[in-house]
């Protein structure tokens, strides 16, 4: 009993410290994921003395956490936002992955003297962007929806082909001509299973009369987990199945949708915290120093050559401007996924796998520090930050669910032409209204004569049917001012 009590106490303390770390990281400008890793390292054998060296258990728990993170990412992904970037997102998660694996493998074969299969294994492990990092960092940068949508799709989908590639390269069996066919089958079958279970789950949840509101979020997450299980049992991609099922469910008109999304967000935070603390606990700081040089070499290849080239190949058919290509190249955030995938060859006892795990761990820390801290400044330097973007606020209200209404939050940035506009001149569509204005730390209910100012925060209540029109109108006024319609600005995304 004492062991259980101690475990619960440590777990509660870690969660509390991690929650505070989110606040600290935002003030310091550091990604919170690094602080979670630091907590794990402090708990480990080098500091507080907790010994944990079970690679198989770490991979299993890490996989479970990734499934929950993909569930949260899919449920909170709006189809209307990612649909314009569907082709680009799929290209980044497939074509870009192949180019990145090949370029990284060839470079590390010559620079580090690795044999071809091991070099390609390194390239595969390092080619996957991390869903947790993308979902937690990019949504607050403020760039256009096409970029965010493409990167969200990439991080949600590319785990599937990368996992297949790592398993094939880590296997002792020779790779034959059937490998590409196997990969195609796993991806197509995984997507089909995700769509099927997502649609069935949406129909079932809409028709079910569950006795408690809190059961709907549980049932929704259970459907997503079932999609992963079904995909895995069918020898298809479970990662792709769970993400696709979550996207389908997240965009269906589910009962108590706000409660479900709030629950999924909390579950995603717990999974991220647990996963990074676990990986920090597993790491050995003494070994990491010996992996510094190969990690720096691999990081330079990945950041300066492989990622930009892979983005160029994937984005060229979609005529993506060079500024957006630069941002996409720098936004290939790595996190827990490469570390979890690096444990697969270690469990398979592939020669040199321990060096790969240590190098990936160091590389993730370095790239998160370099990319995560500079990404907002890069977006501003490239002129990609948009101030008139509305983001959905999760608000537990049965009334909102009953009327299919949503609550949006709009921040008026410096230089926005929303500054000086009277609320009556905003002319939101019927079914939408500004319910609250937060200014200089205080809030008030606005009137038609209220004049908007820079740094104001607006809470907009709108029905689901007019949300797109509301976002387009706010975006148009942000760009062209009160005479946006006369100037021909419709508020649609600028290609």
Q: How far is 451 from 36, CA to CA, in rounded Å?
A: 43
If you write DSSP's letter for every residue of 135-198 in order, what string do you get?
Answer: HHHGGGT-B-HHHHHHHHHHHHHTHHHHHHHHHHHHSSSPP-TTHHHHHHHHHHHHHHHHHHHH
Share of the chain above pLDDT 90, in %: 18
Residues in the chain: 495
Domains of the chain, residue spans: 9-381, 390-483
Looking at 3.30.1330.60, 3.10.20.30, 3.30.70.1450, 3.40.50.2300, the CATH number of the domain 390-483 comes to 3.30.70.1450
In this structure, what token pair is assigned to residue 257? 């949708």
If pLDDT is split at 50, 70 and 90, which confidence band does 135 have? Answer: low
Q: Residue 310: its pLDDT value, please?
A: 93
Confidence of residue 396 (pLDDT cuts 50, 70, 90): very low
The closest alpha carbon to 126, from 3, 254, 306, belongs to 306
pLDDT level of residue 1 (50, 70, 90 thresholds): very low
CA distances from 301 to 113, 126, 151, 163 (A): 14, 11, 21, 21
Query: In the prediction, which pLDDT does 191 show?
Result: 92
| 0.95 surpassed by pTM | no
The SS3 of residue 432 is strand
Query: Which of these ranges, 37-46, 226-235, 277-286, 401-410, has the smallest mean pLDDT?
Result: 401-410
Rounded Cα–Cα distance for residues 428 and 422 (Å):
12
Q: What is the pLDDT of residue 139?
A: 57
Specify the DSSP class assigned to residue 213. Answer: T
Q: What is the mean pLDDT of residues 54-80?
A: 86
Give 235-262 pLDDT, tens digit per residue. Answer: 888 999 999 999 999 888 777 777 888 8
3-state secondary structure of 428: coil
Average pLDDT taken over every residue of the chain: 82
Question: What's the pLDDT score for residue 400?
Answer: 56
Is pLDDT above 90 for 136? no
Of all residues in the chain, what percent carry a pLDDT higher than 70?
89
What does the pLDDT read at residue 40? 81
Contact 432, 488 (CB under 8 A): no
| CB environment 123-136: b (16+ within 10 A), e (fewer) | bbbbbbbbbbbbbb
Residue 462 has pLDDT above 90, yes or no: no
Distance CA 25, CA 241 (A): 33
pLDDT of residue 394: 47
pLDDT band at 389; cut points 50, 70, 90: low
145-157 and 238-250 helices, crossing angle to 10°: 140
Name which residue leads in pLDDT, 99 or 32: 99
Residue 119 φ then ψ, to 5°: -65, -45
**Which range, of 315-329, 340-354, 374-388, averages the lowest pLDDT?**
374-388
Give the class (CATH, top level) of 9-381. mainly alpha
Select, from the ranges 7-11, 155-159, 333-337, the one with the highest average predicted confidence (pLDDT).
155-159
Name the band, by pLDDT with cuts 50, 70 and 90, for residue 395. very low
Cβ–Cβ < 8 Å for 77, 99 = no
d(CA 336, CA 368): 11
Confidence of residue 199 (pLDDT cuts 50, 70, 90): very high
| Cα→Cα distances 313→145, 149, 156, 181, 319, Å | 21, 18, 20, 22, 11
């Amino acid at each position: 009993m004492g062991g259980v009590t101690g475990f619960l106490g440590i777990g509660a303390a870690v969660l509390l410290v991690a929650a505070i770390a989110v606040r600290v990281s935002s003030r310091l400008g550091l990604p919170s994921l690094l602080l979670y890793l630091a907590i794990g390292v402090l708990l480990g054998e080098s500091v507080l003395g907790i010994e944990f060296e079970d690679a198989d258990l770490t991979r299993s728990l890490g996989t479970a956490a990734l499934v929950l993170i993909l569930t949260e990412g899919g449920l909170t992904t709006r189809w209307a936002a990612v649909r314009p970037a569907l082709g680009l997102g799929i290209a980044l998660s497939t074509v870009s992955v192949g180019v990145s694996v090949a370029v990284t493998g060839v470079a590390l074969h010559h620079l580090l003297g690795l044999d071809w299969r091991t070099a390609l294994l390194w390239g595969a492990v390092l080619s996957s962007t991390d869903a947790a990092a993308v979902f937690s960092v990019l949504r607050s940068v403020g760039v256009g929806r096409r970029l965010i949508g493409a990167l969200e799709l990439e991080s949600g989908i590319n785990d599937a082909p990368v996992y297949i590639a790592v398993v094939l390269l880590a296997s002792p069996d020779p790779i034959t001509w059937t490998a590409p066919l196997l990969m195609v089958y796993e991806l197509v079958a995984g997507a089909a299973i995700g769509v099927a279970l997502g649609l069935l789950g949406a129909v079932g949840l809409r028709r079910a009369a569950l006795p408690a509101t809190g059961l709907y979020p549980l049932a929704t997450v259970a459907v997503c987990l079932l999609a992963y299980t079904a995909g895995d049992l069918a020898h298809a991609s479970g990662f792709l199945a769970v993400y696709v099922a979550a996207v389908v469910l997240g965009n269906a008109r589910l009962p108590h949708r706000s409660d479900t999304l709030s629950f999924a967000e909390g579950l995603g935070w717990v999974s991220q915290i647990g996963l990074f603390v676990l990986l920090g606990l597993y790491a050995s700081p003494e070994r990491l120093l010996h992996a510094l040089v190969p990690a720096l070499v691999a990081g330079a290849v990945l950041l300066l050559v492989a990622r930009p080239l892979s983005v160029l190949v994937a984005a060229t058919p979609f005529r993506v401007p060079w500024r957006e290509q630069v941002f996409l190249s720098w936004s290939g955030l790595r996190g827990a996924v490469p570390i979890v995938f690096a444990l697969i060859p270690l469990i398979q006892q592939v020669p040199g796998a321990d060096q790969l795990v240590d190098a990936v761990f160091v590389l993730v820390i370095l790239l998160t520090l370099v990319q995560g801290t500079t990404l907002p400044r890069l977006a501003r330097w490239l002129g990609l930050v948009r101030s008139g973007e509305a983001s959905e606020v999760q608000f537990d209200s049965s009334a909102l669910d009953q009327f299919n209404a949503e609550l949006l939050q709009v921040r008026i940035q410096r230089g926005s032409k929303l500054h000086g506009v009277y609320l009556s001149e905003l002319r939101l569509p019927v079914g939408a209204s500004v319910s609250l204005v937060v200014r200089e730390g205080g809030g008030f209910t606005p009137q038609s004569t209220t004049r908007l100012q820079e740094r104001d925060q607006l809470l907009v209540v709108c029905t689901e049917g007019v949300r797109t029109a509301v976002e387009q109108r706010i975006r148009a006024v942000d760009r062209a001012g009160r005479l946006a319609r006369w100037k021909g600005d419709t508020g649609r995304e600028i290609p």
